[in-house]
């Protein structure tokens, strides 16, 4: 029998170990972009944190540019707890999405945010300082982190983070009494 004439029929391509490995690798490669996209979305608590961080940064720029340090210090004292939670959630977002380089990404975000807001203050000129007193007033009337976030959004505070919101998790069906008694 010549090497070309085998007694057994060749295995279909889908059943050969090599074909299965190639198909598995291809499927894995195709899934990676969707996994990566899922990691760069912003959770609701992170969105609130980024809004608060942007508001705090703009108020800091206003304090330095417009001589409003007393107003800024009052803001920080009043919302110290909310600002700390926002800071942790911003870090948590970058830890979740950037892994080992999260600190670099946090630093880059904060720097880009402050630089962007500083550039806006320069571009607005004398109007910038006039616009900041009402922003401080609105911020100081907030009674929660959610309201601080809303101040940032409604006052269109400059934000450099452009990531989509994460899709809502599907609601879990409630367990019935019959299921819990088993």
> What residues contact 14, with CB distance under 8 A and at least 6 apart?
20, 23
- Return the structure tokens found at 79: 């919302």
| Residue 76 resides in a domain | yes
| Residue 69 resides in a domain | yes
| Residue 140 resides in a domain | yes
- Return the structure tokens found at 125: 């000129």
| Residue 31 resides in a domain | no
pLDDT at 181: 57
144 in Cβ contact with 79 (< 8 Å): no
Residues of the chain with pLDDT under 70: 1-39, 169-182
Count of other CB atoms within 10 angstroms of residue 72: 20
Distance CA 92, CA 90 (A): 5
| Residue 49 resides in a domain | yes
Q: What is the pLDDT of residues 32-70, one digit of tens each?
A: 333 333 458 889 999 999 999 999 999 999 999 999 999
> What residues contact 129, with CB distance under 8 A and at least 6 apart?
62, 65, 66, 68
**Total number of domains in the chain:** 1
> What residues contact 95, with CB distance under 8 A and at least 6 apart?
102
pTM (two decimals):
0.71
pLDDT at 27: 42
pLDDT at 163: 84
| Residue 60 resides in a domain | yes
Q: What is the domain range of residue 109?
A: 42-154
| Residue 1 resides in a domain | no
| Residue 54 resides in a domain | yes
Nearest-CA neighbor of 121 among 69, 51, 63, 65?
65
């Amino acid at each position: 029998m010549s090497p070309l004439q085998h007694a057994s029929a060749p295995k279909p391509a889908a059943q050969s170990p090599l074909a299965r490995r190639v198909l598995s690798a291809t499927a894995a490669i195709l899934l990676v972009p969707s996994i990566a996209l899922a990691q760069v979305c912003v959770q609701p608590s992170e969105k609130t944190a980024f809004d608060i961080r942007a508001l705090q940064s703009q108020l800091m720029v206003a304090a330095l540019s417009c001589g409003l340090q007393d107003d800024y210090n009052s803001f920080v004292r009043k919302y110290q707890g909310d600002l700390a939670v926002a800071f942790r959630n911003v870090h948590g977002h970058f830890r979740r999405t950037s892994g080992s380089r999260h600190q670099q990404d946090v630093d880059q975000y904060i720097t880009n945010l402050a630089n962007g807001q500083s550039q806006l203050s320069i571009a607005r000129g004398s109007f910038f300082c006039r616009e900041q007193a009402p922003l401080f007033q609105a911020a100081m009337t907030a009674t929660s982190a959610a309201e601080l976030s809303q101040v940032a959004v409604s006052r269109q505070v400059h934000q450099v983070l452009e990531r989509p919101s994460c899709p809502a998790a599907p609601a879990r069906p409630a367990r019935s009494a019959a299921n819990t008694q088993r």
